[in-house]
Amino acid sequence: MNKKTLVALGDSITSGWPYEQEFSWVNVLQQNLTNLCVLNKGVSGDTFKDMLNRFNKDVLIYKPEYCIVMGGANEAYQHIPQPVLKENFLEIIKKLKQIECNIIIGMPTPVEDEPLEKYLQEIREWYKDFSRQNHIPILDFYSLMLNKDTNKINGSLFIDGCHPNKIGYQLMGQYALKILGELNVIN
């Protein structure tokens, strides 16, 4: 019997930058979900447009049963208008639905830069509304990586105000494992 496949489609936060993929949150899934073939398709610097451009070779050819879609930070950094981000994100979702893939949205982690964080907060709210309306689960990496006292980025989990450190990635992976278990992806 062939294993089911889970693709993690994203940017540097998915790939585990600045480390090797073995330190990514996706690697925690790879090491613990032995019943699944887990593929890390995170590429540093990618926007949803970039992910859309590589969709066929990074997602479609694997015919995954599950896909975690995570992005948005590079759109913020590149000052890409939110309607463009949404259009590209929705096109990815449409393609995943066409192949009857179970979709999970990865919420972008917090960033220190306040204008960029404001942009991302608006996108996160949009993701939440979209996920509720479409019954798509979310991995809330944003809340996970906040300092609970200040409600801002937890600096001890990041290396540069944007990318998690090894402890942050490990925490994200353990959280993702827990949520995927609750969603019965693991069974």
What is the pLDDT at residue 60? 96
Whether residue 123 is predicted with pLDDT greater than 90 in this model: the reply is: yes
| pLDDT band per the 50, 70, 90 thresholds, residue 34 | confident
Give CA torsion, residues 58, 63, 67, 70, to 10 deg. 20
Give pTM, 2 decimals.
0.96
Answer for the pair 6, 65: CB distance below 8 angstroms, yes or no.
yes
> Domain for residue 11, yes or no?
yes
Number of structural domains, the chain? Answer: 1
Q: Any residues with CB less than 8 A from the CB of 139 and at least 6 apart, and which? A: 68, 70, 104, 105, 106, 107, 175, 176, 179
- Residue numbers of the domain that contains 156: 4-182
Task: Report the share of the chain in percent with pLDDT over 70.
Answer: 98
Q: Identify the band that residue 49 occupies on the pLDDT scale cut at 50, 70 and 90.
A: very high
Whether the CB-CB separation of 6 and 38 falls below 8 Å is answered with: yes
Please tell me the distance from the alpha carbon of residue 141 to that of residue 109, in angstroms, as a whole number. 5
- List the CATH number of the domain containing 148: 3.40.50.1110
Asked whether the predicted pLDDT for residue 101 surpasses 70, the reply is yes
Residue 107 and residue 138: Cα distance in Å, rounded? 7
Residue 56 pLDDT greater than 70, yes or no: yes
Residue 187 lies in a domain: no
Task: Give the pair of three-digit tokens for residue 155.
Answer: 């600096």
